[in-house]
């Protein structure tokens, strides 16, 4: 019979005792440290059982850790992704140019750069930023973007060339599986000026004779091509564990729309599958659930893995659709009530009311794409927003749905017993003895 060498046996014995499970998809904390109520007022972070307890600033996840290599590259040591430190702030790119430019991009001796996926790009978002939308000022040195400028160079839109200050969008490689607006082919991007994800047209748009192609900034990435791959397991008890992120999720949702305060309370008060440490997810955790291969229009489903159950809704146009979901993250802005809006992720179409250029009634359409991250007032009456909010007329719902989350404490795959440690020690002893014998002059294993 063929037998394994003693060294192999010893190695197997040792490995079987200490094998553990690594975290493959690291969701970095948002960085938010301030607490707010639903009127927009900054408050002392509430104690357990108090109104507004459980918001983003009260839970601290994996903190960002970057390394500046001094050669124009930054490595995120949590995700293993290396980033271009300084984009081209003079020449914005169309989506086709952004994709094609990666092949010839050479930085710090590396030539394997790529346009990041939307989840890779969103891993950089930092919710210490302040949204300047509607701000009347012009001095951008007074503003705080949604990215860590201690490591990543950043520029707001250049008003001297017709940009708005908030025109600091970055392309991702993730294309929307449906279309937005008037059937426009679309790719997702992150706006690091106002802290949102939306879909942007990739083909020429506009009336005949006035067509233009959207251009945005580009920040290339390399390394860890397996980043942002979920690994869902149905626990059979109303929960789903993502072994990639070490997060456990509620399989169903709240089945009803809730205000932001109600959403926080729903999560904090829930007991499910024997666990009572549920919380409202922050924006980055919630976006980690999005399945960008799905949309209501193309798969007749929400943009989430079908292992989850998502309540259908009737949208503002009377059609079947899927909800927005609250995050615990406040989308702070430059207004007199900076914390009045909360972040949400659209697992159904991100609808908006658009008025035709020639005037007439507003038309409801998917303006941003399923998988967009936007914001809603934390309280109030949606009827007060008949034409939505912002330049694309984002529908305002206020009463959004909830899917709660909790952290999973990762246990070793195989916890060594006393007997296993003894076997490992015995194997090492044999290995050591064998090594000593083999070192004796004239020793031959057949003797």
Average predicted confidence (pLDDT) for the chain:
90
- Report the range of poorest mean pLDDT among 198-212, 255-269, 425-439: 425-439
12 found inside a domain = yes
Pairing, β 341-346 against β 373-377: antiparallel
The number of domains in the chain is: 1
Give the domain range for residue 430. Answer: 6-20+421-438
Return the pLDDT at 409: 78
114 found inside a domain = no
376 found inside a domain = no
pLDDT band, residue 359 (cuts 50/70/90): confident
More confident residue, 411 or 109: 109
* Entry field: residues in the chain: 447
Q: Please count the other Cβ atoms lying within 10 Å of the Cβ belonging to residue 228.
A: 25
Residues 341, 347, 353, 354: is their CA dihedral positive or negative?
Answer: positive
Classify each residue of 122-134 as buried b or exposed e, where b means 16 or more C-beta atoms within 10 Å of its C-beta: bbbbbbbbbbbbe
Return the pLDDT at 300: 98
**Residue among 138, 245, 126 at smallest CA distance from 195:** 126
User: Is residue 320's pLDDT more than 80?
Assistant: yes
pLDDT band, residue 411 (cuts 50/70/90): low
pLDDT band, residue 163 (cuts 50/70/90): very high
Across 379-404, average pLDDT: 98
Model confidence over 165-187: pLDDT tens digits? Answer: 999 999 999 999 999 999 999 99
pLDDT band, residue 446 (cuts 50/70/90): very low
User: Is residue 43's pLDDT more than 90?
Assistant: yes
425 found inside a domain = yes
254 found inside a domain = no
429 found inside a domain = yes
Reading the block at residue 164, the tokens are 């708005």
Return the pLDDT at 208: 81
Residues 6+ apart with CB under 8 A from 208: none
**Residue among 167, 158, 181, 89 at smallest CA distance from 133:** 167
203 found inside a domain = no
Give the gyration radius of the chain's Cα atoms: 26
SS (H, E, C) the chain: CCCCCHHHHHHHHHHHHHCCCCCCCCCECCCCCCEECCCECEECCCCCCCCCCCCHHHCCCECCCEEECCCCEEEECCCCEEEECCCCCCCCECHHHHHHHHHHCCECCECCCECCCHHHHHCCCCCCCCECCCCCCCCHHHCCCCCCCCCCCCCCCCHHHCCCCCCCEEEEEEECCCCECCCECEEEEEECCCCEEEEEECCCECCCCCCECCCEECCCEECCCCCCCCCEEECCCCEEEECCCCEEEECCCCCCCECHHHHHHHHHHCCECCECCCECCCHHHHHCCECCCCCHHHHCCCCECCCCCCCCEECCCCCEECCEEEEEEECCECCCCCECEEEEEECCCCEEEECCCCCCCCEEEECCCCCCEEEEECCCCHHHCCCCECCCCECCCCCEECCCEEECCCCCCCCCCHHHHHHHHHHHHHHHHHHHHHCCCCCCCCC
Return the pLDDT at 94: 98
Query: What's the rounded Cα separation, in Å, for the pair 181 and 189?
Result: 16
Angstrom distances, CA of residue 444 to CA of 4, 9, 255, 338, 340 = 18, 20, 74, 80, 81
Reading the block at residue 134, the tokens are 């509607």
428 found inside a domain = yes
Return the pLDDT at 95: 98
Query: What's the rounded Cα separation, in Å, for the pair 315 and 374?
Result: 17
Model confidence over 127-155: pLDDT tens digits? Answer: 999 999 989 999 999 999 999 999 999 99
Which residues, in sequence order, are bridge partners of residue 196? 191
Query: What's the rounded Cα separation, in Å, for the pair 122 and 373?
Result: 10
């Amino acid at each position: 019979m063929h037998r394994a060498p003693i060294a192999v046996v010893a190695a197997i014995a040792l490995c079987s005792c200490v094998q553990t499970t690594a975290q493959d998809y690291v969701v970095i904390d948002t960085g938010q440290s301030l607490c707010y109520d639903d009127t927009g007022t900054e408050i002392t972070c509430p104690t357990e059982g108090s109104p507004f307890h459980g918001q983003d600033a009260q839970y601290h996840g994996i903190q960002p850790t970057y390394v500046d290599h001094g050669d124009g590259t930054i490595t995120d040591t949590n995700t293993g992704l290396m980033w271009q430190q300084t984009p081209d702030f003079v020449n914005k790119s169309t989506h086709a140019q952004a994709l094609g430019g990666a092949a010839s991009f050479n930085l710090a001796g590396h030539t394997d750069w790529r346009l990041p996926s939307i989840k890779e790009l969103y891993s950089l978002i930092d919710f210490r930023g302040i949204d300047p939308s509607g701000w009347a000022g012009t001095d951008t040195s007074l503003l705080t973007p949604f990215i860590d400028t201690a490591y990543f160079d950043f520029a707001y839109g250049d008003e001297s060339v017709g940009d708005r200050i908030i025109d600091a969008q970055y392309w991702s490689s993730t294309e929307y599986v449906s279309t937005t607006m008037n059937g426009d082919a679309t790719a997702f991007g992150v706006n690091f000026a106002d802290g949102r994800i939306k879909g942007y047209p990739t083909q020429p748009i506009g009336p005949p004779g006035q067509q233009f192609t959207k251009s945005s900034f580009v920040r290339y990435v390399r390394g860890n091509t397996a980043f942002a791959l979920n690994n869902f397991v149905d626990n059979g008890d109303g929960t789903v564990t993502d072994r990639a992120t070490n997060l456990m999720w509620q399989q169903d949702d709240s089945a009803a729309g809730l205000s932001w305060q109600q959403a926080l309370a729903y999560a904090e008060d829930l007991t499910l599958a024997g666990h009572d440490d549920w919380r409202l997810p922050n924006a980055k955790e919630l976006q980690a659930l999005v399945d960008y291969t799905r949309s209501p229009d193309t798969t007749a489903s929400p943009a989430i893995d079908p292992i989850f159950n998502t309540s259908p809704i009737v949208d503002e146009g009377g059609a079947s659709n899927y909800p927005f979901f609250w995050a615990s993250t406040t989308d702070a802005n430059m207004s007199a009530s900076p914390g009045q809006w909360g972040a949400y992720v659209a697992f159904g179409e991100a609808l908006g009311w658009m008025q035709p250029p020639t005037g007439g009634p507003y038309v409801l359409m998917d303006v941003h794409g399923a998988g967009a991250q936007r914001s809603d007032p934390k309280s109030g009456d949606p009827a007060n927003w008949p034409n939505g909010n912002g330049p694309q007329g984002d529908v305002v719902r206020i009463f959004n749905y909830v899917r709660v989350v909790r952290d999973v404490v990762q246990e070793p795959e195989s916890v060594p017993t006393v007997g296993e440690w003894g076997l490992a020690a015995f194997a090492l002893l044999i290995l050591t003895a064998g090594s000593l014998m083999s070192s004796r002059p004239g020793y031959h294993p057949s003797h």
